[in-house]
Structure 1
Amino acid sequence: MQSLPHDVVGYARDYRDGYVSVRHRHPRHQLIYAISGLMMAETDAMSHAIPPGYGLIVPAQQPHEIRMIGAVRLQSLYVRAGLPRADALARCRLVTISPLLAQLIAALCEMANPWPMPPRALHLSQLILIELLAAPVSPLALPYPTDPRLRRVCDGLIATPASPRSLDDWAAEAGMSRRTFSRHFQLETGLSFGKWAQRLRCQAALRGLAKGRPAARVARELGYANAYTMAAMMRRMT
């Protein structure tokens, strides 16, 4: 796929539950788009839940790992890194895939990368780039801080997402005052600690539901009073 002469290569595949694409990188920019099922993607700096209707843009040479939660059907694009318009794909981000973009990707994948490229494939590729560059960023990305003290706190919350510990408790865990902790966390992640924790719980909820666990049980494990409260949080996030 990486060595084909096309500027944009389409790829579609089904994966079983639990499949892991271990840490790797590509010479091309990649869009990983979920048609069904849930994917969890890890880069050095972020964790991303990729539910249906969302796509992760992975820049060329960016190490990443993908874990499938439930049976997953995906479509992927590989974009030549040297294209003038592809510069905007050099930043890792989770985007919302519009119905138009979804249909364009599906049409290109169905053509199976013919060469020489017929006019239809060429036009599809150009339209895909236009729509992809305009795709809005999703609110599900979970950035990791670089400060080891803040990472220790994040790791603790990841291990126990339903933890009742207060902001003051987590600040003490990092060896900081509440004000210093809040300021450093915002600077490192671009999010308040409360919003970061909410994204984490949303990712954990998506993971649990994709595995087929009852919504009430998932909500209880994440510290929500009931499934309705958890569902309201997820609607706000997505």
Structure 2
Amino acid sequence: MSDPILQLRDFVDMPAGPIVLAAGASLEEELASGPHRHARGQLFGSLRGLLSVGLENGMWIVPAIHAVWLPPHTLHSGRSHGPYNGWSVYVAEAACADLPQQACTIRISGLLREAVLRACSWAPDSLEPLGTARSHVAALILEEIRSLPVEPFGLPLPRDPRLQRIAQALIADPADDRDLQRWADWAGVSSRTLSRRFVLETGFNFTAWRQRARLMRSLEMLAAGMPVTAIALDLGYSTASAFIGLFRRSFGETPAAYRARL
């Protein structure tokens, strides 16, 4: 299946062209791209599932309710966890002067999502300037990037391949309740090394990282309208109150309050 996002890559380093280029894709397989950079700024996200984003300071897991903003010429890589369903917007370098100057994530508003999806319906192979109606949509996208609150990157991934294997398994099944020793045995690493390197490479101890992974997935499930109790049980919590308590300590509000803000 042809990927419209890949089709745009012939244009993202050209100084000419419209202020915004956008494309979306829904694939039956994972999407992965190695380290690269381009002259345009980039805003991208998924409609479903988690993304891994590699930057020079590490790897990060980003849920579907956030979008990633990369200023022009930022070295990055990326992959989806499972089949890819997402979008990407490329912003002309000249239009990025008053947009965030550091890579960051922003909370996706309903307005931004709809504007991006509209832009993704435009032909991806034209370098003609945008007409009046499309210019309004492009200006709206830029204003949303400029004004929406910046969020901390969701979850750092370890660099050690053995630890990455564990992390990927936990992302695929956050409810897996194997303890540290069993995970260490599974990955062929000592429990002491696993414990020490998780802190060194992610800033979280193993237990805290696993809790954070579950919380990242819970954000998506809340946005999809799942009941709080069902989320808690699906993610391996013994009770809904245990999940609610951890969520409140991590994000400063209950899951229900967070969903109401969405």
Q: State TM-score, norm by structure 1.
A: 0.65
Which residue among 16, 27, 30 is the counterpart of 1:18?
Answer: 30
CA distance in 2, matches of 1:38, 1:123: 30
Q: Is the 8 A contact 1:46 1:142 kept in 2?
A: no
CA distance in 2, matches of 1:225, 1:48: 28
In the superposition, relative to structure 1, how do residues 63 and 159 fare at CA in structure 2: closer, same or farther (>3 Å)? Answer: same
Q: Is the 8 A contact 2:66 2:107 kept in 1?
A: yes
Q: Is the 8 A contact 1:28 1:79 kept in 2?
A: yes
| TM-fit CA distance, 1:173 | 4.5
- Measured against aligned partners, the alpha-carbon deviations of 1:111-149 in whole angstroms (never above 9, x if no partner) come to 22552321011111111111111122234434589xxxx
In the superposition, relative to structure 1, how do residues 65 and 16 fare at CA in structure 2: closer, same or farther (>3 Å)? Answer: farther
- Measured against aligned partners, the alpha-carbon deviations of 1:26-59 in whole angstroms (never above 9, x if no partner) come to 2111011211232221212143323222211122
Q: Describe the SS at the equivalent of 2:117.
A: helix
Q: What are the within-5 Å matches in structure 2 for residues 197-212 of structure 1?
A: 197=209, 198-200=211-213, 202-203=215-216
Which residue among 137, 146, 154 is the counterpart of 1:124?
Answer: 137
Aligned residue number for residue 113 of structure 2: 102
CA distance in 1, matches of 2:208, 2:142: 31
In the superposition, relative to structure 1, how do residues 25 and 7 fare at CA in structure 2: closer, same or farther (>3 Å)? Answer: same
Q: Which structure's residues are more often strand, by fraction?
A: 1
Aligned residue number for residue 38 of structure 1: 50
CA distance in 2, matches of 1:227, 1:71: 29
Q: Is the 8 A contact 1:45 1:144 kept in 2?
A: no
Q: Is the 8 A contact 1:58 1:91 kept in 2?
A: yes
- Measured against aligned partners, the alpha-carbon deviations of 1:166-204 in whole angstroms (never above 9, x if no partner) come to xxx99x958xxxxxx9xxx8xx99x88799735355458
Q: Describe the SS at the equivalent of 1:71.
A: coil
Q: What are the within-5 Å matches in structure 2 for residues 179-218 of structure 1?
A: 197=209, 198-200=211-213, 202-203=215-216
Gap regions ≥5 residues in structure 2:
1-10, 171-177, 182-191, 221-229, 252-257
Which residue among 75, 89, 95 is the counterpart of 2:100?
Answer: 89
Size of the aligned set, in residue pairs, is 206
Q: Is the 8 A contact 1:104 1:128 kept in 2?
A: yes
Gap regions ≥5 residues in structure 1:
146-150, 175-180, 208-213
Aligned residue number for residue 74 of structure 2: 62
Aligned residue number for residue 74 of structure 1: 86
